[in-house]
A = this chain, B = another copy of it.
Amino acid sequence: MRPVAEHAAVVAALLGPTGTESVALADARGRVLAADLTSPVALPPFANSAMDGYAVRAADLVGTPVTLPVVEDVPAGRVDGPPLAPGTVHRIMTGAPLPEGADAVVQVEWTDGGLPGATVTIERAVGSGQSVRTAGDDVVAGQVVLTAGTVLGAAQIGLAAAVGAPELSVHRRPRVLVLSTGSELVAPGEPLRHGQIHESNGPMLAAAVDDAGGVSRLLRFVPDDVGEFLTTLDAALAEPTDLVVTSGGVSAGAYEVVKDAFSRRGIEFTKVAMQPGMPQGAGRYRADGATGDPGADVAVVTLPGNPVSSLVSFEVFVRPALRRAAGHPEPDRPRVRARVSEDLHSPAGRRQFRRGRLDAVTGTVAPVGGAGSHLLAALAQADCLLVVPAEVTEVAAGSDVEVWLLDTP
């Protein structure tokens, strides 16, 4: 059986970098910056007042209280820059440019609040530079303010706006077509006959794709007939697609449409040394008559059909590959070690992924549900995966295990 790390490398190699695109700041949240952002301006661009008060020459305030004429009114946004003559002050507001000739600001609370055209009495002397933000205090012109690979949140978007960038170069999101197959599947909301189940892998994997930073497109109930399967797939691939993710149809059974359709068309099917998720496939498929790009082939990853196997395999193989392709600096889930609360049993030679809940305060992790790959309710309660190495078959309660932290939004 193929080691987990080897199959992960095969999947990762299928997906090259997605390329870059320019997005407006309003659309940049959550995207990954593709190039260093250099500021063409200093921040602040000019010396300005940190307070509402009076722009002064500090030397004029010797022997306070002093009373001085208030010559000009300088609100934020005043652009004509009236200079300050010795022995006078200008009223100034927070963020307004410090007048030429001034070297400090006295906050209004230390004055009698005199108006422009009259005088102000100042109670306290200030040192040169007091309540002044110097130009370039935050950022100097030419400085790299955000490096390639930065994930853009509110603060980063604010900074980009502040340095004057109306749009940003980001990595393009991988476009992922999620296929579900299986003649036992019925849409949620439809009644079940004996032998049928509701299709759940499609919406689950589409959400997982979006959560990983991809753009999912979902094609449900693709026919189980190989010819019809390929026709449906080829038609869907007329739309540009970076990756096809299927679930089901890959085990040892007699009716395995994914395996039958892809096995002589570029996809390698293999057993991976893990539990759950042993039957895996990956490769590149060239659609017949695809109109998206006739010369192109598309990456395909086939996941097993049991919901838990499917989502765990996605976590192990697909999510990191998608994030790496999209330039994400940390493709993997955060990993920690924690003490497991009960004994674990794992098959020899297979890396086991159990669903768990981590108590970060005590550093303990409890498995939820059993090892069964059909236990979806337990998966929905989990906030982490517990990892038992392939060579380990028994883990005693209280031992340290590796834990992968899933999202806890």
Which of A7-15, A184-192, A260-268, A283-291 is the interface stretch?
A184-192
Tell whether, in the assembled complex, residue B94 and residue A253 are in contact, meaning their CB atoms are under 8 Å apart.
yes
Given A45-B197, A153-B211, 14 extra CB contacts under 8 A: A26-B218, A41-B198, A93-B253, A94-B253, A95-B197, A95-B306, A96-B184, A97-B194, A109-B252, A133-B374, A138-B375, A138-B376, A154-B207, A161-B188
Q: Decide yes or no whether A142 CB sits under 8 A from chain B.
A: no
Tell whether, in the assembled complex, residue A160 and residue B184 are in contact, meaning their CB atoms are under 8 Å apart.
no
Q: Contacts of A156 on B, CB cut-off 8 Å?
A: 380
* A189→B295 CA distance, assembly (Å): 39
- What's the interface size class on A, roughly? 35 or more
**Whose C-beta in chain B lies nearest to the C-beta of A46?**
B194
Tell whether, in the assembled complex, residue A195 and residue B77 are in contact, meaning their CB atoms are under 8 Å apart.
yes
Q: Contacts of A298 on B, CB cut-off 8 Å?
A: none
Shortest Cβ gap from A176 to chain B (Å): 13
Shortest Cβ gap from A361 to chain B (Å): 10
As for how many copies of this chain the complex holds, the number is 2
**Could you say which of B97, B188, B377 contacts A138, with CB atoms under 8 Å apart?**
B377
* A29→B218 CA distance, assembly (Å): 14
Tell whether, in the assembled complex, residue A374 and residue B138 are in contact, meaning their CB atoms are under 8 Å apart.
yes
Given contacts A75-B253, A96-B195, A255-B75, contact A137 B184 (CB under 8 A): no
Q: Decide yes or no whether A258 CB sits under 8 A from chain B.
A: no
**Whose C-beta in chain B lies nearest to the C-beta of A97?**
B195
Tell whether, in the assembled complex, residue B159 and residue A203 are in contact, meaning their CB atoms are under 8 Å apart.
no
Would you call the interface of chain A mostly helix, strand, loop, or mixed? loop
Given contacts A200-B161, A203-B158, contact A77 B182 (CB under 8 A): yes
* A146→B376 CA distance, assembly (Å): 11
0/1 string, A203-240, CB within 8 A of B gives 1: 11111101100000010000000000000000000000
Tell whether, in the assembled complex, residue A164 and residue B198 are in contact, meaning their CB atoms are under 8 Å apart.
yes
Q: Contacts of A93 on B, CB cut-off 8 Å?
A: 253-255
Tell whether, in the assembled complex, residue B162 and residue A376 are in contact, meaning their CB atoms are under 8 Å apart.
yes
Given contacts A91-B254, A182-B77, A377-B138, contact A166 B189 (CB under 8 A): yes
**Whose C-beta in chain B lies nearest to the C-beta of A166?**
B189
Tell whether, in the assembled complex, residue A75 and residue B380 are in contact, meaning their CB atoms are under 8 Å apart.
no
Given contacts A153-B409, A206-B26, A252-B108, contact A198 B382 (CB under 8 A): no
Q: Decide yes or no whether A30 CB sits under 8 A from chain B.
A: yes
Tell whether, in the assembled complex, residue B50 and residue A374 are in contact, meaning their CB atoms are under 8 Å apart.
yes
Given contacts A94-B305, A139-B377, A205-B154, contact A162 B197 (CB under 8 A): yes
* Contacts of A1-35 to chain B: CB distance below 8 A: 25-26, 28-30
0/1 string, A125-136, CB within 8 A of B gives 1: 000000001000
* A193→B162 CA distance, assembly (Å): 14
Q: Decide yes or no whether A157 CB sits under 8 A from chain B.
A: yes
0/1 string, A46-81, CB within 8 A of B gives 1: 100010100000000000000000000101111101
Given contacts A151-B409, A409-B30, contact A159 B198 (CB under 8 A): no
